[in-house]
Amino acid sequence: MRILVVEDERAIADFVGRGLESEGYAVTCVHDGAEGEALALTGRFDLLVLDLMLPGRTGMEILQSFRVADRETPVILLTARAEVSDRVAGLDSGATDYVTKPFAFEELAARIRTHLRRPGQEKPTALKVGSLEINLLKRSVSRGGLDIRLSAREFDLLAFLMRHPGQVLSREQLLNGVWGYDYDPGTNVVGVYIAYLRRKLSVDGLEDPIETLRSVGYRLLEET
């Protein structure tokens, strides 16, 4: 993971840079805003740490031009305690977070760890729809808190439905997404497995979570 630190106060840049290197990051520190902006725009970094008051270009200017090119990469602003309005403007301009000076290194390191594993960048390991919960790593399933045992194919079918809650999925989409067929084998395998799933997911007091839309497909209900 590569981090760019743009901070003109050398003492701060040094302690941040050394600390992050000791945590295993590859760190580039620069002390000038224009240089920082040029480096940020190379797209080589996984996260930026920007001071606001910089010679050359301000942290806010760097943030704004960076966000035109890149909306995803996390940007953490370093702000002075008095700069509340800058902080708000920074978040409005697409900063991911800010750390108020003076700060302990551990505080900044914790924010960096958090933002480098944002949910959008990582595949979810658990899904929840209504009363249904599955864990994709453990391949475990529960409904209304009760554990349910499914075969591998049943699990794949349920996981596919849970990735598209409330959406009508055609037989062809299910054949493709769950069985990997790009043609219709002309069997009723989807209908058969939907019936297996329904039976295993049936829990006293809870409705059938799968709706059949005749000659259209199936839909996993979002509220059951």
Residues that bind Ca ion (CB under 5 A): 8, 51, 53
CB of 56 to Ca ion, least distance (A): 11
CB of 135 to Ca ion, least distance (A): 46
**Closer residue to Ca ion, CB minimum distance, 56 or 165:** 56
CB of 57 to Ca ion, least distance (A): 12
**Closer residue to Ca ion, CB minimum distance, 8 or 23:** 8
CB of 129 to Ca ion, least distance (A): 48
3-state secondary structure the chain: CEEEEECCCHHHHHHHHHHHHHCCCEEEEECCHHHHHHHHCCCCCCEEEEECCCCCCCHHHHHHHHHHHCCCCCEEEEEECCCHHHHHHHHHCCCCEEEEECCCHHHHHHHHHHHHCCHHHCCCCEEEECCEEEECCCCEEEECCEEECCCHHHHHHHHHHHHCCCCEECHHHHHHHHHCCCCCCCCCHHHHHHHHHHHHHCCCCCCCCEEEECCCEEEECCCC
**Closer residue to Ca ion, CB minimum distance, 51 or 86:** 51
**Closer residue to Ca ion, CB minimum distance, 75 or 194:** 75
